[in-house]
Structure 1
Amino acid sequence: MAKGDIQDWIECDDTEPEDLVTPELLAAFTSIAGLPRDDDSLIATKDALAGALEAFMWASLEQDALHPESAENKALEIAARDAGKLYDTLLALQEYPGVEARLETAIQSNPHLYELEDGKTLKDLLTTRHNIFRAYRELLVDLQVCLEDTSNRQPKRRVLEDPDGGVAIGLEDDEEFAARVKAWRARSKERALPKDHALREFLRALAPYWEANSPHPFTEGMYFKEANQTISHLVDAVERVMAVASPKTKRPQIVTALREVRPPLS
């Protein structure tokens, strides 16, 4: 997202997404979208727009902060390695008689343990005495495996090296190797964010409110040659919002993003 539009208010500590939803913008959006104008409806519409703009903001930041795939792979592999190290370190505690018992007492008496949504804490992950971290270690194994699976390194041919320095033996044919390369390329493409990532996230966040309250369909509309553009209340309304939040976002970009995020037309 270029400087001079949404980045200006992202970088301003005192500006919130809802600050962009001025009375003028709210009135224009409501009118174009055909939404009710009573006080409760206006409040709901403002909240929906602020939520969509917040999604736009975070997606813009996410896009700006995207790292190269090689850096992501390295971070994942370091985390996987450290998960394995923690497994080994916790297992090694069993070599010190009495340590696990004292550690369990410390955990059980700690009044400030982090609580999960269901109210469980570290206490609930403890298992039998003399092996109190068995369940925790098994979770670390699962985490390590998943971290390794998420890493997406370019495949190398699977071969069996000759310990005497002879010719290596291939463990897969060309077709199998080509399939792995194809899968790697597909995963690499999936992790990349589209140029209009922030706009798509804005539309996804706005969609439920629009579909529940506007009489107009959530589509980019049909193209009319005479107008040299699509005719759509939704595009008109989003264009009005982007004129305030991201002036460099143009109508054709909104149309393209909508085609990507809306449900397929029946």
Structure 2
Amino acid sequence: MAKARVEDWIDQEDIEPKDLISADLLKVFANLAGFPSDGLGFEATKTALTSALEAFMWARLEQEALHPESAENKALDAAAQDASQLYDKLLLLQDYSGLEKRVEASIRSNPNLYEFDDGKTLRDLISTRRNIFRAYRELLVDLQVCLENTSNRQPKRHVIEDPDNGAVIELETDEEYAARMKTWRARSKERALPKDHALREFLRSLAPYWEANSPHPFTEGMYFKEANQTVSQLVDAVEIIMLVASPNTTRQQIVTAIRDVRSSLS
């Protein structure tokens, strides 16, 4: 079987997903899954397995790159602030006589503007002679609002201080505050990735090919006390791959991940 692992692949850019799959490993996997073990079907299985390992690798990278929510909020705030400042600076150009006209001429004569899929460029986002960046500025407002809405901070109580006696006045009920807290917690949980994120993405990628070509169900199977484990061809096949790709992955983790993925796909 192949000696390369996903961890090595992450560290070395020249390692390809297919390098993790030896001919022997692929044959064992195909036999466990009930896939063809020769000819074009064998190549199709290798392609599907390679794609699943790619999904595993990218999910592992995504998980390792996940920042704390506080850091994400800080980055979103900075981007929103920059969008707001660019809005103001573009608006300020109107205070300089003839300047927008010259900027417009520069844009219209630039042969190297970025093209969208429909062929449009910055030329299509500006108007003529004066207030040329009106539409562009409105896009910046939309961007700023969306960035701010993406930020997710723990809610604080809506209160004001009575100017006469300094007493704190509640501006919302306990139920309203609890509802905002519930929304914050749900959004915070949604952005987090489960510990088995990479394994789940491997399974999601593999599922369509497995269900279309394997005689065995895409399931974690049933637990048999005599064997002290679940009996499932899918678990067996994935376990063989994880021994190479991620040796620390346990059979129980595979069982749990299959159950969760199957539930999300149904």
Pair in the same fold by TM > 0.5: yes
Query: Shift in Å at residue 56 of structure 1?
Result: 0.9
Normalization by structure 2: what TM-score? Answer: 0.91
Mapped partners of 1:56, 1:17: distance in 2 = 10
Partner of 1:166: 166
Identity of aligned residues (%): 71
**Inter-CA distance 79–229: structure 2 relative to 1 (3 Å threshold):** same
Query: Is the aligned partner of 1:8 residue 2:8?
Result: yes
C-alpha contact (below 8 Å) 2:5/2:20 kept by paired residues: no
Task: Give secondary structure in 2 for the equivalent of 1:255.
Answer: helix
Task: Give secondary structure in 2 for the equivalent of 1:156.
Answer: coil
Partner of 2:74: 74
Q: Deviations over 1:188-232 (max 9, x none)?
A: 122211111111111111112222222222111122222222221
Mapped partners of 2:46, 2:77: distance in 1 = 43
Partner of 2:51: 51
How do 1:188-199 and structure 2 match up within 5 A? 188-199=188-199
Q: Which amino acid aligns with 1:81?
A: Q
Partner of 2:236: 236
**Bigger shift: residues 36-45 or 245-254:** 36-45
Q: Which runs of 5+ in 2 are unaligned?
A: none
C-alpha contact (below 8 Å) 1:5/1:248 kept by paired residues: no
Task: Give secondary structure in 1 for the equivalent of 2:230.
Answer: strand
Query: Shift in Å at residue 141 of structure 1?
Result: 1.1
How do 1:84-123 and structure 2 match up within 5 A? 84-123=84-123
Q: Which runs of 5+ in 1 are unaligned?
A: none
Partner of 2:208: 208
C-alpha contact (below 8 Å) 1:52/1:202 kept by paired residues: yes
Q: Deviations over 1:33-82 (max 9, x none)?
A: 11123432222222221111111111112212221111111111111111
Mapped partners of 1:49, 1:210: distance in 2 = 10
Mapped partners of 1:23, 1:86: distance in 2 = 56
Q: Deviations over 1:137-196 (max 9, x none)?
A: 111111111111111111111123445672232210111111111211121122211111
RMSD of aligned alpha carbons: 2.0
Partner of 2:152: 152
C-alpha contact (below 8 Å) 2:32/2:233 kept by paired residues: yes
Q: What is the total number of aligned residue pairs between the two structures?
A: 263
**Bigger shift: residues 124-133 or 13-22:** 124-133
Mapped partners of 2:264, 2:202: distance in 1 = 18
Mapped partners of 2:257, 2:16: distance in 1 = 24
